[in-house]
Amino acid sequence: MAINLDDPKKFRTLAGQAHQVAMNMLRPISRKYDLAEHEYPKELDMLAAMIDGLSESGAAEGAGAAGVRRDEKSDDGANKNGANLASVMSIQEMCWGDVGLLLSMPRQGLGNSAIASVADEEQLKRFEGVWAGMAITEPGTGSDSANIKTTAVLDGDEYVLNGEKIYVTSGDRADHIVVWATLDRDLGRAAIKSFVVPKGTPGMRVDRLEHKLGIRASDTATIIFENCRVPKENLLGSAEVDPKQGFAGAMATFDNTRPLVAAMAIGCATAALDLTRELLTDAGVEIDYDRPGLAQSAAAAKFLQLESDLEGARLLMLQAAWMADNRKPNSLEASMAKAKAGRVGSDVTLSCVELCGAVGYSESELLEKWARDSKILDIFEGTQQIQQLIVARRVLGLSSAELK
């Protein structure tokens, strides 16, 4: 069977529109909100309303946060290019404009992906249109999401949440927060569930906002839960603790969001390469695709190497998203895509700063900003090291207890 590596025709218009938005709406305000950290980018309201309208009309499948539904199968066995593939293609283009602004988009939070992946039909309808941040990381927990200490105790018709969450993207701006908590610490991973908590619920408070190296347009919050009561209907998916199923319900969210983070890294790195190509050409450096790198200048050879590394990451990202659309288990591929794109994204953006010298380091261009922004994409949603651990476990067929 022939493999076609071209972008699906039906999504090219969507990707083209996303590129126009990135170029005309995001790029012009990129530096403004990098300097004005924690100030809400009001320009995004109109853009979010436009994306909502497109999504409702069905004209932009995948413009918003999609989910991985493990319990559904592809109906007819035919190849399906769906919402996940469309999402990574459009997100890549938007992050060519600005990663921090993309992360600040109303109603496109990581919590929205959690809802899309784990919620039942009634919950999908009830939480439609919310802007949901996702609260996973805790002090002392680091990348080990299975070691969550925040507790959820059933009391009548409500769960009582207690704990502290850090590094919550859109934690102050979102109107709902998806909180990961354990029903019973003694039962380990299997007891971890996610809960949708509306902003303003008594017992929940935003404690502080973080100052960061990059993605400064995006607010990152610490949120405290003290006897915070939420209706038991707000537990996403099943409340049953199934040791065989384990962490799968919660981790389905990551199988969806890791290719999205890969797309962010690829979009940001592509922006850096595009500008670097222009600057090198202006400086008289010729990049020749018909000659091997060894026969060209060091700068041209380095540029060709960066471009090929990025293309490898892009193909892994597309594969992981395509598998999600076709209801194929994609945990291995999602982690491979995220690991490769995160590492390559940082390498590309920093190398572009280096190739462009003083111009790359100066705020006269956005290259230094893209180098700062891209680093987080190798860290959040599971660090580079954690991704490699997941890949090793999958390839070797070992459990998390067997390979730590």
Q: What pLDDT shows up at residue 216?
A: 97
Dihedral sign from CA coordinates of 13, 18, 23, 24 = positive
Task: DSSP letter for 37, please.
Answer: T
- Give me the mean pLDDT over the 175-191 stretch: 91
Q: pLDDT, tens digit, for every residue of 116-132?
A: 888 999 999 999 999 99
* 381 given a catalytic annotation: yes
Task: DSSP letter for 235, please.
Answer: B
Beta strand ranges found along 45-202 (DSSP E): 132-135, 151-155, 158-169, 176-182, 192-198
Q: Is the pLDDT of residue 67 over 60?
A: no
Q: What pLDDT shows up at residue 72?
A: 55
Topology at the third CATH level for domain 131-234: Butyryl-CoA Dehydrogenase, subunit A; domain 2 (2.40.110)
How do the domains of the chain map onto residue ranges?
9-123, 131-234, 248-396
153: its two tokens: 């105790």
- Give me the mean pLDDT over the 311-329 stretch: 94
**CB of 47 closer than 8 Å to CB of 21:** yes
Q: Is the pLDDT of residue 58 over 70?
A: no
Report the relative pairing of strands 176-182 and 132-135 from DSSP bridges.
parallel
**Residue 64 or residue 384, greater confidence:** 384
User: How confident is residue 250, by pLDDT bands cut at 50, 70 and 90?
Assistant: low
Q: What pLDDT shows up at residue 61?
A: 46
Q: Which CATH number fits domain 9-123: 3.40.1760, 1.10.540, 1.10.10, 2.60.40?
A: 1.10.540
Q: Is the pLDDT of residue 314 over 90?
A: yes
- The fraction of the chain above a pLDDT of 90, given in percent, is 74
Q: Which of 61, 138, 333, 381 is catalytic?
A: 381
Q: What pLDDT shows up at residue 247?
A: 61
Q: What pLDDT shows up at residue 49?
A: 86
Residue with tokens 């595009």: 274
Report the relative pairing of strands 158-169 and 151-155 from DSSP bridges.
antiparallel
User: How confident is residue 381, by pLDDT bands cut at 50, 70 and 90?
Assistant: confident
- Residue 138 three-state SS: coil
Q: What pLDDT shows up at residue 75?
A: 54
Q: pLDDT, tens digit, for every residue of 346-376?
A: 999 999 999 999 999 999 999 999 999 999 9
CATH class of 248-396: mainly alpha
Q: Is the pLDDT of residue 93 over 60?
A: yes
**Residue 280 or residue 252, greater confidence:** 280
**CB of 226 closer than 8 Å to CB of 206:** no
Which of 376, 345, 184, 175 has the alpha carbon at shortest distance from 266?
345
**Residue 242 or residue 151, greater confidence:** 151
Average pLDDT of the chain is: 90
Q: How many CB atoms lie within 10 A of CB 332?
A: 16
User: How confident is residue 114, by pLDDT bands cut at 50, 70 and 90?
Assistant: confident
Q: Which residues contact 392 (CB under 8 A, 6 or more apart)?
A: 398, 403
**Residue 210 or residue 244, greater confidence:** 210
